[in-house]
């Protein structure tokens, strides 16, 4: 090993030790939590499953994942660090370690949320600690720290330099929009937790998009319909075609939509077709199965329109990730390019619907 490398490593270690000695930590529970569907229950869980007891066991488990949750805070610290403990799910071959267990920080500048840094996870331990960003100026900053997509967070502390100011961020969003869906909503295969299409829509619209993605398990069960209807929101987006079979879509769409409509007579309900999965580019069975499901969801929405259900909207899936077959990581789940295209395509359609409310 060369002498220069050893000296460099020693310098980095000493710098890290100096930073640690100059930091103080605040429990994230004393700051602002955004993205939770329910205020009750475990703090870092999206749903209070003690209240929704009839949900399928796998959905209950996946609701412990912190995808879509973020901690908002104000600080003038020139460094932001974190200590966090996770109870990880089984690693997925199509998910980055950063998305699986890491943190993702955005800071608002000139009215726009911009990427600032990441909390790099230790894949060999549940306890994590590290600097997210440093060497900033001492102006007051609005911060939004996204939590891991596919892990259960057990604890989180935000580190700032000693003597610096930190407080809860005033709630930065307007309306609350609930999104129910599959692993695509859950965030596979985003590179970081802030790059899902749901997170992008929140930052770019000023609306609180609450992520109820349940990887592989958005099957439109009646118990899930009852759950969604009991959560207060200004609008409801149903993006669950990828996980449901055509028969399930035909059997369950009516109950799902009508149950939400009964509890929320004025709220927009927006049904989304599946993205065009690139794995079906040459695989004709996959392509045809998806076409059947997309036709089925359209038919069910048209039946509800004909039955007089009001403020029910439909978004086609064919252009959501582009048509060049570069928008997925594994042919099924969007990569960052695919999520960017989804956000940009859906934003004007959603804002047109919501601005008319």
Output the pLDDT for position 8. Answer: 45
Choosing from 168, 203, 221, the residue where a domain stops is 168
220 and 280 share one domain: yes
Answer yes or no: are the C-beta atoms of 105 and 117 closer than 8 Å. yes
CATH number for position 288: 3.40.50.1110
109 and 204 in a single domain? The answer is no
How do the pLDDT tens digits run along the chain, 357 residues long? 445 544 444 444 444 444 666 999 999 999 999 999 988 889 999 999 999 999 999 999 999 999 999 999 999 999 999 999 999 777 777 788 999 999 999 999 999 999 999 999 998 889 999 999 999 999 999 999 999 999 999 999 999 999 999 999 999 998 999 999 999 999 999 999 999 999 999 999 999 999 999 999 999 999 999 999 999 999 999 999 999 999 999 999 999 999 999 999 999 999 999 999 999 999 999 999 999 999 999 999 999 999 999 999 999 999 999 999 999 999 999 999 999 999 999 999 999 999 866
- Strands 32-34, 70-75: pairing is antiparallel
The verdict on 236 and 253 lying in the same domain is yes
94 and 189 housed in the same domain = no
Q: Are residues 242 and 279 in the same domain?
A: yes
HSE (side-chain half, CA atoms, 13 Å) at 271 = 27
The answer to the question of residue 216 being in a domain is yes
Confidence (pTM): 0.92
Give a yes or no: residue 238 inside a domain: yes
Is residue 191 within 8 A of residue 98, CB to CB? The reply is yes
Whether 258 and 289 share a structural domain: yes
Alpha-carbon span 101 to 87, nearest angstrom: 9
Query: Do residues 180 and 50 both lie within one domain?
Result: no
Nearest alpha carbon to residue 181 among 290, 310, 275: 275
56-59 own/partner pairs: CB under 8 Å, 24+ apart: 56/217, 56/219, 56/221, 56/223, 56/224, 58/214, 58/216, 58/217, 59/214, 59/217, 59/221, 59/224
Task: State how far the Cα of 12 lies from the Cα of 22, in Å rounded to an integer.
Answer: 15
Q: What is the structure's pLDDT at 60?
A: 96
Which SS3 state, helix, strand or coil, does residue 261 take? helix
Q: Which domain holds residue 280?
A: 176-355
Those residues whose C-beta lies under 8 Å from the C-beta of residue 56, and which sit 6 or more positions away, are 217, 219, 221, 223, 224
How many helices (H) and strands (E) would you count in the chain? 9, 15
Rounded to an integer, what distance in angstroms lies between the CA atom of residue 45 and that of residue 38? Answer: 9
Domain count, the chain: 2
- Helix axes of 336-355 and 197-205: crossing angle, nearest 10 degrees: 40
pLDDT of residue 335: 97
Q: What is the C-alpha to C-alpha distance for residues 226 and 49, in angstroms, rounded to an integer?
A: 13
DSSP letter string over 224-236? HHHHHHTS--SEE
Task: Please tell me whether residues 180 and 54 are part of one structural domain.
Answer: no
Q: Are residues 268 and 295 in the same domain?
A: yes
Which of 150, 168, 186 is the last residue before a domain boundary? 168
Q: Report the alpha-carbon angle 189-193-194, nearest 5.
A: 115
């Amino acid at each position: 090993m060369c002498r220069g490398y050893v000296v460099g490593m020693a310098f980095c270690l000493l710098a890290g030790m100096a930073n640690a000695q100059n930091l103080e930590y605040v429990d994230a529970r004393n700051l602002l939590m955004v993205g939770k569907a329910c205020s009750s229950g475990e703090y870092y869980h999206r749903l209070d499953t003690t209240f929704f007891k009839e949900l399928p066991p796998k959905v209950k488990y996946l609701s412990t994942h912190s995808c879509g949750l973020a901690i908002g805070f104000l600080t003038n610290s020139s460094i932001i660090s974190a200590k966090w403990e996770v109870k990880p799910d089984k690693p997925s071959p199509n998910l980055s370690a950063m998305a699986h267990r890491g943190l993702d920080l955005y800071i608002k500048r000139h009215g726009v949320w911009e990427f600032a840094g990441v909390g790099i996870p230790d894949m060999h331990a549940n306890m994590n600690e590290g600097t997210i960003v440093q060497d900033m100026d001492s102006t007051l900053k609005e911060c939004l720290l996204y939590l891991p997509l596919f892990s259960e967070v057990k604890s989180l502390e935000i580190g700032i330099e000693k003597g610096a100011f930190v407080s809860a961020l005033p709630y930065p969003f307007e309306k609350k929009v609930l999104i129910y869906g599959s692993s695509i909503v859950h965030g596979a295969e985003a590179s970081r937790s802030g790059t899902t299409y749901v997170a992008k829509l929140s930052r770019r619209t000023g609306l609180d998009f609450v992520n109820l993605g349940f990887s592989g398990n958005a099957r439109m069960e009646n118990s899930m319909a009852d759950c969604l209807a009991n959560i207060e929101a200004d609008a409801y987006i149903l993006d669950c075609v990828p996980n449901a079979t055509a028969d399930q879509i035909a059997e369950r769409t009516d109950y799902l939509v009508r149950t939400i409509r009964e509890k929320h007579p004025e709220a927009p309900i927006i049904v989304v077709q599946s993205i065009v999965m690139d794995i079906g580019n040459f695989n004709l069975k996959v392509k045809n199965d998806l076409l059947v499901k997309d036709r089925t969801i359209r038919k069910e929405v048209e039946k509800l329109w004909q039955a007089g259900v009001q403020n029910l909207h439909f978004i086609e899936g064919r252009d959501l990730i582009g048509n060049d077959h570069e928008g997925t990581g594994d042919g099924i789940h969007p990569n960052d390019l695919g999520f960017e295209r989804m956000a940009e395509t859906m934003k004007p359609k959603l804002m047109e619907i919501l601005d008319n409310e």
